[in-house]
């Protein structure tokens, strides 16, 4: 059996060093490269053609989700395992939708990580219990309220969160100031709040806008 070719992607040097040390002590794995962000991951993937990538998700330059999506599109035979410190529902969903076959937290044991690499190489997914729990959580009250917003109201809320005034939003969306005012009134009513500041805080805190 040929060793499984593994690429490590993480912007933290100590994390990469720890993974390198672990892989080098496992004869069934062949470390073919390291990258510190998504752009380097794509370049290294093209040059080294790994079988499995251990992909951090929150990185500068280009994040792990975007890099995973590009790699999955260009090299669908390459399997990506998200290896991260974050377990938020949205991030889990984004990573899996981008093409990741696994989602593990960085507190995973060496034995669990090795098994996840083997499973990924065989085309079988591995999800951390925390990721599974995040996926099956029912929508929060805020998410339910936000679902009642129209597409245009979501657009207005996103521009509000950027700090735009009513005239600026009107110019951005090519609508009248009166229409902007009406949309904001509807947003406040649907979200059960009374001010623009509350709308912005609620949207950012609950990740209703990107």
Are 161 and 196 a contacting pair, CB within 8 Å?
no
What CA–CA distance (Å, rounded) separates 159 from 120? 40
> So what's the pLDDT on residue 141?
67
Residue-level pLDDT at 169:
94
- How far apart are alpha carbons 41 and 136 in whole angstroms? 30
Mean pLDDT value across residues 114-131: 93
Whole-number percent of the chain with pLDDT over 70 = 97
pLDDT above 80 for 134: no
Domain 4-136 bears CATH identifier 3.40.50.970 = no
Identify the pLDDT of residue 137.
65
Q: Where are the domains of the chain?
A: 4-136, 141-205
Q: Check pLDDT > 90 for residue 133.
A: no
Q: Which of the listed ranges 117-126, 145-154, 196-205 does the model predict with the highest average pLDDT?
A: 117-126
Residue 14 has phi, psi (to 5 degrees) of -65, -35
Mean pLDDT of 115-129: 94
Cβ neighbours of residue 58 under 8 Å, at least 6 residues apart? Answer: 64, 84, 85, 86
Residue 49, burial from CB neighbour count under 10 angstroms (0-12, 13-18, 19+): middle
Domain 141-205 sits in CATH 1.10.630.10: no
> What does the alpha-carbon distance between residue 52 and residue 167 come to, in Å, rounded to a whole number?
50
Partnered with residue 7 across adjacent β-strands are 33, 53
For residue 165, the model assigns a pLDDT of 93
For residue 143, pLDDT over 80 is answered with: no
User: Up-side HSE of residue 136: CA atoms within 13 Å toward CB?
Assistant: 7
Q: Is the pTM of this model over 0.85?
A: no
pLDDT of residue 203: 83
Mean pLDDT of 2-11: 96
pLDDT, averaged across the chain: 91
- The answer, yes or no, to whether residue 60 has pLDDT greater than 80, is yes
- Average of pLDDT values for 191-203? 87
Which phi-psi region, left, alpha or beta, contains residue 61 (left: φ > 0; alpha: ψ -120 to 50)?
left
With a pLDDT cut of 90, the percent of the chain lying above it is: 71
Please state the rounded mean pLDDT for residues 62-66. Answer: 94
């Amino acid at each position: 059996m040929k060793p499984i070719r593994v690429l490590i992607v993480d912007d933290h040097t100590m994390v990469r060093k720890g993974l390198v040390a672990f892989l080098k002590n496992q004869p069934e794995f062949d470390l073919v490269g390291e990258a510190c962000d998504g752009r380097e991951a794509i370049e290294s993937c093209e040059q080294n053609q790994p079988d499995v990538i251990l992909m951090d998700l929150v990185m500068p330059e280009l994040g792990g989700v975007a890099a995973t999506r590009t790699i999955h599109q260009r090299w669908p035979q390459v399997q990506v395992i998200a290896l991260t410190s974050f377990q938020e529902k949205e991030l889990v969903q984004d990573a899996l939708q981008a093409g990741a076959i696994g989602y593990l937290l960085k507190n995973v044991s060496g034995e669990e990580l090795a098994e996840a690499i083997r499973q990924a190489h065989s085309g079988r997914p591995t999800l951390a219990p925390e990721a599974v729990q995040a996926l099956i959580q029912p929508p929060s009250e805020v998410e339910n309220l936000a679902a009642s917003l129209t597409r245009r109201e979501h657009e207005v809320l996103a521009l509000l969160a950027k700090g735009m005034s009513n005239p600026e939003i009107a110019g951005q969306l090519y609508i009248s100031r009166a229409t902007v005012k009406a949309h904001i009134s509807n947003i406040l009513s649907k979200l059960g709040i009374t001010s623009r500041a509350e709308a912005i805080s609620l949207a950012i805190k609950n990740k209703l806008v990107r």
